[in-house]
Chain A
């Protein structure tokens, strides 16, 4: 056990020495891997932020029920009691047309337009939070509410949620595909680096074998080399994404505030960062393994 640990420490130290013996090559290698990993990592960062935003905006689906413009207060009250008694509704919020008018008058730009209208253009409305959020149940409720007297229009607010959902799934798939393709690139780059390393160390490998080195002893430093190089690439990628996040944070917050949303870009989540480092090291190791199987003759 002690000897095993010693061997691993020596192999790691040797890999580190080989990396630091050619600092320029190491740096360039880390940059190449860093840029390759930076693309999916950056995509993941944007996606994570977008998911956070989407969750905040569309936590639960809602059904908006709009009354006819000329519906009387009494008729509106009847519908309200119908909605409240409905077994499938969890929450019903009444939005009087006067309140809607007031809100729009206060808003920038629209105020004057609304002011110039001869009468209130907004209907009374209800926002219904359903108990059952499945698309089928939502659709059934929409159809039922549409048949109520004096109801002009029923809108499912879940339609855009499912569109957003589909879009996010697509984006997730794109980021994953990008990660796979560039992960393969990382393995290929490591494969080649290790091939060159084996060629440079040919003499050392031969002499070590003659002096009684096992295959494991000879391979170990190369595994560490591949993993360390991958990890260096992961660090470069992480740093690049961090800098990009910090640079984009101000402009994004500004843009969001123009839409009345308070939003600030978050850096790559901890779990994703750990995944990035883990995968980078693992892929480097895999590249080394492939290269050793191919190029290290017995």
Chain B
């Protein structure tokens, strides 16, 4: 059984259909990526899963339960974490407070988790008392990932984690995604950086103006001529 299963999902904003009936599934332990151009509906899909936007039609099933229609708080408490687009760390809270607020719903001891995040991102430990607003873009992204890890999600959704970051930092972020994957966290990754995303993905979907147009393993899509042309910047026929 899939950890996350979406069936016929439709989402509209003010009369415009942003998602036109998509179905997709995420298996336990996989990295699944959703690629597509700007405005294809990738972020909307994640926002619908986390309960931030109301869905018009379809169902979202997580761990055998229907979660569509639930409040974002309830969905978080079920174990779905989110690294939102544009990082969205709380600029007025310190780095440590940002991590603590990630575990807002937990009542047990946070110390081991904080230590674990600091191990993955030693830079955050150095800056633990700094307001998050003073961090660089890459550091904020690491904090956003660390914050999401604090609630010990079973499914971690990441919305464009590489957006606006330097190539070296992007490499770090993708390395971290793989580390989390090895720790057993299921990952649903939305990316415009199709190349990097497909390389690490077990399964991938291509989203175009609200519909899924292609689906396959990461490698299949990486080798697909249409994907190559549209998303990987390679002309058909060229090698």
Q: Do A and B bind each other?
A: no
